[in-house]
Amino acid sequence: MIENIKNIYDIIVVGAGPSGSVFVREVAKARPELKILVIDGQQKISAKPCGGLLAPDAQKLLAKFDLALPKSVLEDPQIFAVQTIDIEQKMVRYYQRHYLNMDRYAFDQWLVSLIPSHVDVLKGRCINIEKENDIYKIEIKLDDKQIQLVTRTIVGADGGGSIVRRSLFKPMQVQYVAIQQWFNSKGQKMPYYSCIFDSKTSESCSWTIRKGDFIIFGGAFKREGCRESFDLQKLRLEKFLNDSFGDAIKTEACLVSSPRKAKDFCTGGENVFLLGEAAGFISSSSFEGLSSAMFSGKKLADSFKIGKTCEDIQRIYKKSTRGLKHKLLLKSVKRFFLCNPFTRRIIMKSGVQSISPYNQEKGKEKD
């Protein structure tokens, strides 16, 4: 049964991840007269597959917002290096990294908590969007019912599988299925954080990350046969490391985008705006998207402060994210070299920018 709500919102934001939360926080403070609704479809038990590492660019953005990350968001252990593993070529290198290890769901909910109180936040999932004249009708599924909301403006901040983009624009051409499993940490010899390449099972990278009492293994795989590729890569990694993850206690999956060309980016059109991964703003080399998500949310909010019409806002927003698009296109070049077995071997063999753990150096001295 669909219940009709007659109130018309000025803006409905589909998605309460970093891009949506940052946008709403900034625009609601600057334009308190706007009636805004945020649809938060996140759930702890079925969270989006994500390593939950806060990259330096994202840290810098939080600093610019004058925000301090609460302790409750951080996760043990804090990580200082990534162990890069090439299973097929049997190579390992260590590279220093400056990430913050965190609980991704807790991070997202913390950002939601910063949204001004006069903004409506609804726990639900958008399942349909229809345009009728100059308004949009959005159907939302709640726990035990469906409702229909009406708005003049939509902001799509709903990730790689964005229903807003699929319904109203051309979807991203290259998308993978990100699959991630959680395991109990029981003394396994797994790396604290690793970046895994295995050309036999995936044309992209995978990862392992320790989170408190858990170990995460995840990766991005072609849609066809994605689960089989995931399971095979997990077996190959266990054999390479001579250890076992054990039984999975949770499995998560979602679509993840991989922008390769300028046309993969879409900031929206008319009264619809796209943010973060829904717009294509994600690194195709590492799948890091938090920094781009928050940056795009800020830029769209700034555009709303300046623009007088939706056409003005679209033009300003598109122009202000041009640099981000160019940066992410360069990431696609980086992806080519990292994911190509031949060039990856040259890079890893060179040892450029790599570090050597003391325990490995001691082992060499003994030999």
pLDDT tens digit sequence for 127-156:
999 998 889 999 999 888 899 999 999 999
Q: How many domains does the chain have?
A: 1
The predicted model scores a pTM of 0.93
Q: Is residue 185 part of a domain?
A: no
Q: Is residue 353 part of a domain?
A: no
Q: Is residue 230 part of a domain?
A: no
More confident residue, 131 or 44: 131
Q: Is residue 308 part of a domain?
A: yes
CATH code where residue 322 lies:
3.50.50.60
Q: Is residue 14 part of a domain?
A: yes
- Would you state the structure tokens that stand for residue 313, as one six-digit string? 């806002």
Q: Is residue 152 part of a domain?
A: yes
CB atoms within 10 A of CB 130: 12
User: 96 CB contacts (<8 Å, ≥6 apart)?
Assistant: 80, 81, 355
Structural domain boundaries, residue 263? 2-61+103-174+259-334
DSSP 79-94: --EEEEEETTTTEEEE
State residue 144's pLDDT score: 84
Q: Kindly state the percentage of the chain with pLDDT values over 70.
A: 95
Q: Is residue 40 part of a domain?
A: yes
- What average pLDDT is seen over the chain? 92
Assign 189 a pLDDT band (cuts: 50, 70, 90).
confident
CA dihedral 125, 255, 271, 329 (to 10 degrees): 150
Q: Is residue 329 part of a domain?
A: yes
